[in-house]
Amino acid sequence: MTVIDLVSYEDALASFDPVMGLEVHVELGTATKMFCGCSTALGAEPNSQTCPVCLGLPGALPVVNATGVESAVRIGLALHCEIARWCRFARKNYFYPDMPKNFQTSQYDEPIAFNGHLDVQLEDGEVFRVEIERAHMEEDTGKSTHVGGATGRIHGASHSLLDYNRAGIPLIEIVTKPIVGAGERAPEVARAYVAELRELIRSLGVSEARMEMGQMRCDVNLSLRPHGREKFGTRSETKNVNSLRSVERAVRFEIQRHAGVLSSGGTIVQETRHFHEEDGSTTSGRVKEEAEDYRYFPEPDLVPVAPDPAWVEELRASLPEPPRVRRNRLREEWGLTAHEMQSVLNAGALDPIVATIGAGADQAAARKWWLGELARRANEQGVDLIALPITPVQVARVAELVAEGTLNDKLARQVIEGVLAGEGEPDEVVAGRGLAIVSDDGALGTAVDEAIAANPAIADKVRGGKVAAAGALVGAVMKATRGQADAARARELILERLGVQG
Ligand code: ADP
Ligand code: MG
Ligand code: ZN
């Protein structure tokens, strides 16, 4: 184990400017793979979604997935890229068991989209433009599981299992130009870029882009150069940094590590590195291959892709509102402060809230449930809000039941709990658990009578004119009904029974 000398972040930035390059892979949500008809559904038996094409059997011929190309063009357009009039796939040759063809079908010097940009908004509202070099089409690899070792890595494993269900799933790789000028905000810019890109991908409907499920994965390239130096330093490439927080941490760590090496007179080797979630560190992977190691050549089995310019223009015209523009519009419509909107975004609650409003809830109620009870539960379970088994329509129904007085907030929370527990629709949970507010005078009257009988001293105070003391009796009624009484009606009945005016 080599000891890594880190320089403090402040000292690193005092001497060096960071330069970053972000490579993001997005798994498209197409129904079938990029070059064959195999299903892309998750969770199937290993190797059940394979065929001669994605297994690379001799003589099998690939066919391009049209939806995959369309998604690539839409991503390119949304990133303000130029779209190639004509481009080809290329074979990236390497031998590794996760790619049974012994090459990955990718694009090399003829990407479908190139020269774009994405504007990202930083925490303080400043907008930073990230230049995009290219977005190209390729395919995912299979998945290896190394068994018998302590770490799950190949070292120390006794054998490996291979699942080719993922081999051939369409990927779009989006590569930035070197990102310069971010200075000490480099980690924040990197995170904001990946977050913005994820929003963009989701807004296009081409992928759910769930990083925790590997649908979006980021490689972080980083180098340092002394202030004032034009030429870039040697980069490291930290692979598979798979959460927003990890992207931020990886950039920060690599800045400190590079500065440590450079300040002590060492040289950075161009290599890939592994990121470690536990402590945010990186360790050396393999020395970087050069492009020529892959012996790229144009794929002879696939026809070139030549998007019709008229079709490209149609796609351009049908792009959705960019996420940043939409966010700013909704913030104004809802009358939120920048800070309130930030909480919505941090919680991943924007789309659920919009959908809940779409299902009939008002903005404040939708925001309250998603940012309150549901965010708390998602947090407890360590999952994204959208992964909770409750739909915006169901949340809207809960809000409606509160608005019409059938539920109070406490009961509504129990209904949400029931929906999450799989007890059915909100109305079914209300019925099944007997949760509706008790406001009919019969049932409530009995509870009121009992509360008065059990608290004669308090009842006397109320009779004597201390109306405020009635609160204790309302409390007793609420307790007896396990929170289900209509508190306002209970109070009216109490005062009526005790012969005083409210
Ligand atoms: P590779 O396939 O070797 O990783 P790519 O061109 O796909 O190369 O990606 C390299 C990424 O790193 C790009 O985002 C590029 O802008 C960026 N990059 C290139 N040179 C440097 C450098 N010296 N420092 C930081 N980033 C760099
Ligand atoms: Mg790379
Ligand atoms: Zn297949």
Residues 6+ apart with CB under 8 A from 479: none
Q: What distance in angstroms lies between residue 304's CA and the mean position of ligand 1's atoms?
A: 26
Residue 288 CA, closest ligand 1 atom number: 3
Q: Taking the domains of the chain in order of start, what are their residue ranges?
A: 3-41+53-312, 349-433, 441-497
Report d(CA 75, CA 69) in Å as an integer.
10
Residue 291 CA, closest ligand 1 atom number: 3
Q: What distance in angstroms lies between residue 119's CA and the mean position of ligand 2's atoms?
A: 22
Contact by Cβ (8 Å): 272, 309: no
Query: Mind listing the pLDDT tens digit of every residue in the chain (502 residues)?
Result: 467 789 999 999 999 999 999 999 999 999 999 999 999 999 999 999 999 999 999 999 999 999 999 999 999 999 999 999 999 999 999 988 999 999 999 999 999 999 999 999 998 889 999 999 999 999 999 999 999 888 778 888 999 999 999 999 999 999 999 999 999 999 999 999 999 999 999 999 999 999 989 999 999 999 999 999 999 999 999 999 999 999 999 999 999 999 999 999 999 999 999 999 999 999 998 776 676 789 999 999 999 999 999 999 999 999 999 999 999 999 999 999 988 998 998 898 999 999 999 999 999 999 999 999 999 999 999 988 989 999 999 999 999 999 988 888 989 999 999 999 999 999 999 999 888 887 777 888 888 999 999 999 999 999 988 989 999 999 999 888 888 888 888 899 999 999 887 6
Give nearest CA residue, ligand 1 atom 17.
21
What are the φ/ψ torsions at residue 414 (nearest 5 degrees)?
Answer: -70, -35
Report d(CA 217, CA 2) in Å as an integer.
27
Residues 6+ apart with CB under 8 A from 110: 84, 86, 87, 88, 90
Ligand located closest to 92 CA: 1
146, β-bridge pairs:
160
Give nearest CA residue, ligand 1 atom 4.
237
Q: pLDDT value at position 155?
A: 83
Q: pLDDT value at position 502?
A: 61
Candidate of 107, 197, 221 to mutate for ligand 1, largest count of ligand atoms within 8 Å of Cβ: 221
Residue 237 CA, closest ligand 1 atom number: 4
Q: What distance in angstroms lies between residue 76's CA and the mean position of ligand 3's atoms?
A: 26
Ligand located closest to 16 CA: 1
Residue 233 CA, closest ligand 1 atom number: 23
Burial letters for 109-143: b for 16+ Cβ neighbours within 10 Å, e otherwise?
Answer: ebbbbbebebebbeeeeeebebebbbbbbbbbbbe
Q: What distance in angstroms lies between residue 40's CA and the mean position of ligand 2's atoms?
A: 25
Ligand located closest to 32 CA: 3
Give nearest CA residue, ligand 1 atom 22.
235
Q: What distance in angstroms lies between residue 387's CA and the mean position of ligand 1's atoms?
A: 34
Query: What string of DSSP letters covers 46-84?
Result: TTSS--TTTTT-TT------HHHHHHHHHHHHHTT-EE-
Q: What distance in angstroms lies between residue 270's CA and the mean position of ligand 2's atoms?
A: 11
Give nearest CA residue, ligand 1 atom 15.
21
Residues with CB under 6 A from ligand 1: 19-23, 133, 175-178, 221-223, 232, 235, 237
Would you call 279 exposed, middle or buried from its count of C-beta atoms within 10 A (0-12, 13-18, 19+)?
Answer: exposed
Give nearest CA residue, ligand 1 atom 2.
291
Give nearest CA residue, ligand 1 atom 12.
21
Ligand located closest to 109 CA: 1
Ligand located closest to 21 CA: 1
Residue 223 CA, closest ligand 1 atom number: 24
Q: What distance in angstroms lies between residue 88's CA and the mean position of ligand 3's atoms?
A: 21
Report d(CA 448, CA 465) in Å as an integer.
18
Report d(CA 410, CA 435) in Å as an integer.
10
Q: Give the tokens for residue 239.
A: 């692979």
Q: What distance in angstroms lies between residue 164's CA and the mean position of ligand 3's atoms?
A: 9
Query: How many residues are present in the chain?
Result: 502
- Is the CATH number 1.10.287 carried by domain 441-497? no
Q: pLDDT value at position 405?
A: 83
Q: What distance in angstroms lies between residue 174's CA and the mean position of ligand 3's atoms?
A: 24
Q: pLDDT value at position 207?
A: 97
Q: Give the tokens for residue 158.
A: 């006794």
Query: What string of DSSP letters covers 401-444?
Result: HHHTTS--HHHHHHHHHHHHTT--SHHHHHHHHT-S-B-SHHHH
Candidate of 20, 131, 174, 175 to mutate for ligand 1, largest count of ligand atoms within 8 Å of Cβ: 175
Residue 17 is given by DSSP the state E
Would you call 404 exposed, middle or buried from its count of C-beta atoms within 10 A (0-12, 13-18, 19+)?
Answer: exposed
Q: Which of 150, 79, 151 is nearest to 113 (CA)?
A: 79
Residue 303 CA, chain-centre distance (Å), reads 35
Give nearest CA residue, ligand 1 atom 11.
21
Report d(CA 189, CA 246) in Å as an integer.
13
Q: What distance in angstroms lies between residue 42's CA and the mean position of ligand 3's atoms?
A: 14
Q: What distance in angstroms lies between residue 220's CA and the mean position of ligand 2's atoms?
A: 8
